[in-house]
């Protein structure tokens, strides 16, 4: 008798007996589970911040002040997915659960124990309707539609997030519709709940919604070495991330793209984010990646950002910062991402933006630059 992987997993844990498995292996539930994939990862790091103190530029929690000069368990993810098939009325789902400190970086997640969080990254029903080339729906909690970088650090060129990531929406709960017009053009549009902090302050939850839309252009195979290159533009209006500049429903604008080259293994990318609310913030980044050998990949990011309220330097006033990140990704073990990264951030508006100490709530003993070296190891399954 041949059992599917889900049945054998239950036998191995003692949840069911082998005898009962023989009788139950043909149950409809097993047929359903056989089309579901299990995946995930464990993300760890060690960071050394040069100099004294742990003050850093505002990016994402995985390189925050409390992660400096120590060893870190960032996050563990377990995902279940039944993807859409080629049927005209196809249905599926995706569930991504998070455990660990990074989970607190997404709104709406809870605290499990001191310093650790849990929650959902995505949890949606996927549907396809036979309209034209196929109309795809996501209903539930899903990832944002704008941004060059994503939550899963292994999927980004660098471990530390860009300045642009810090001013983008992090998640949505609502409905997203996607349509592939041609092999060249894809479009998406959606509506979601506005951040609950806005709803609580305004008292008008029924009138406060977030709206989004995007378009992507992808170079077809006929373009030769440019095949696979893409250009994306998107907008999100209605999110209030409460980034220290008051109660507002923000407008996020984004444009980004990737470009393959005639040189084997070399590619480039670029992104620009603009956030407009009661104040403003903007961030631009250039990326370069080179697959030097089958095992070694080199990634570089150069970026500049500024805001009207200290969004990137935690100063509470206008800030301007410049950053360079260099990452060496070397594959030593199967299923393991092993990266060494050097990051340098510099305040370019003449202020000591990275405070080492605070007195009466005001930063003192500030520095104009921050340099850190880190090791990132991720196991994916």
Does residue 319 contact residue 312 with C-beta atoms inside 8 Å?
Answer: yes
Q: Which domain holds residue 149?
A: 35-380
If one compares 363 and 274, the residue with the highest pLDDT of the two is 274
pLDDT in tens, 212-259: 999 999 999 999 999 999 999 999 998 765 554 455 678 999 999 999
pLDDT value of position 196: 47
Mean pLDDT over 264-278 rounds to 94
* Separation CA 74–CA 47 (nearest Å): 12
pLDDT value of position 102: 94
* Separation CA 79–CA 170 (nearest Å): 18
- Does one domain contain both 96 and 226? yes
The answer to whether residue 376 scores a pLDDT higher than 90 is yes
- Does one domain contain both 17 and 159? no
The answer to whether residue 345 scores a pLDDT higher than 90 is yes
Mean pLDDT over 81-88 rounds to 89
- Does one domain contain both 16 and 39? no
Most confident of 114-118, 247-251, 264-268: 264-268
Choose the weakest-confidence range: 200-204, 319-323, 368-372: 200-204
How many structural domains compose the chain? 2
pLDDT value of position 3: 47
Mean pLDDT over 304-333 rounds to 90
The answer to whether residue 332 scores a pLDDT higher than 80 is yes
- In terms of Cβ atoms closer than 10 Å to its own Cβ (0-12, 13-18, 19+), residue 204 is exposed
Choose the weakest-confidence range: 4-13, 95-104, 105-114, 140-149: 4-13
Three-state secondary structure string covering 16-47: CCHHHHHHHCCCHHHHHHHCCEEEEEEEEEEE
- Does one domain contain both 120 and 221? yes
- Does one domain contain both 290 and 371? yes
Does residue 121 contact residue 143 with C-beta atoms inside 8 Å?
Answer: yes
pLDDT in tens, 14-62: 444 544 444 545 555 555 567 899 999 999 999 999 987 777 888 899 9
- Does one domain contain both 30 and 73? no
- Does one domain contain both 8 and 133? no
- Does one domain contain both 28 and 50? no
pTM attached to this predicted model: 0.85
Instruction: Check residue 180 and report its DSSP letter.
Output: E
- Does one domain contain both 44 and 160? yes
Long-range Cβ pairs for the range 328-331 (8 Å, 24+): 328/296, 328/297, 328/298, 329/296, 329/297, 329/298, 329/299, 330/295, 330/296, 330/297, 331/294, 331/295, 331/296
β-pair partners for 298: 290, 328
- Does one domain contain both 244 and 341? yes
Query: Which CATH number is 247's domain given?
Result: 2.40.160.10
The answer to whether residue 210 scores a pLDDT higher than 70 is yes
For the chain, the maximum distance between any two Cα atoms, rounded to a whole number of angstroms, is 74
- Does one domain contain both 39 and 10? no
- Does one domain contain both 55 and 128? yes
Closest CA to 312 of 106, 102, 60: 60
């Amino acid at each position: 008798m041949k059992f599917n992987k889900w049945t054998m997993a239950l036998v191995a844990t003692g949840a069911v007996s082998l005898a009962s498995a023989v009788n139950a292996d043909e149950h409809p539930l097993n047929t359903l589970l056989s089309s579901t994939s299990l995946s995930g990862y464990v993300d760890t790091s060690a960071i050394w911040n040069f100099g004294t103190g742990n003050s850093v530029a505002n990016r994402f929690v995985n390189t925050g002040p409390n992660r400096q000069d120590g060893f870190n368990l960032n996050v563990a993810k377990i995902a279940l997915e039944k993807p859409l098939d080629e049927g005209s009325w196809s249905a599926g789902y995706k569930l991504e659960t998070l455990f660990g400190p990074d989970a607190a970086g997404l709104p709406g997640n809870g605290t499990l124990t001191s310093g650790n969080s849990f929650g959902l990254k995505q949890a949606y029903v996927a549907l396809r309707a036979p309209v034209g080339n196929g109309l795809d729906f996501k209903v539930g909690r899903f990832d944002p539609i704008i941004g060059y970088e994503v939550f899963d650090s292994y999927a980004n060129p660098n471990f530390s997030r860009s300045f642009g990531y810090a001013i983008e929406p992090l998640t949505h709960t609502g409905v997203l519709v996607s349509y592939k017009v041609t092999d060249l053009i894809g479009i998406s549009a959606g509506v979601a709940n506005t951040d609950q902090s806005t709803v609580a302050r305004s008292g008008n939850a029924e009138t406060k919604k977030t709206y989004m839309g995007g378009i992507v252009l992808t170079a077809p195979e006929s373009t030769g070495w440019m095949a696979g290159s893409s250009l994306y533009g998107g907008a999100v209006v209605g999110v209030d991330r409460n980034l220290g500049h008051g109660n507002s429903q923000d407008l996020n604008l984004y444009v980004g793209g990737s470009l393959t080259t005639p040189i084997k293994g070399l590619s480039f990318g670029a992104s620009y984010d603009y956030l407009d609310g009661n104040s403003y913030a903007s961030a631009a980044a250039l990326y370069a990646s080179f697959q030097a050998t089958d095992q070694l990949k080199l990634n570089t990011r150069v970026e500049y950002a500024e805001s009207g309220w200290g969004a990137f330097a935690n100063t509470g006033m206008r800030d301007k910062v410049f950053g360079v990140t260099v990452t060496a990704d070397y594959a030593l073990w199967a299923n393991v991402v092993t990266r060494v990264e050097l990051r340098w951030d510099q305040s370019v508006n003449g202020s000591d933006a990275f405070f080492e100490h605070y007195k009466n709530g005001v930063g003192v003993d500030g520095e104009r630059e921050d340099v850190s070296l880190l090791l990132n190891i991720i196991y994916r399954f």
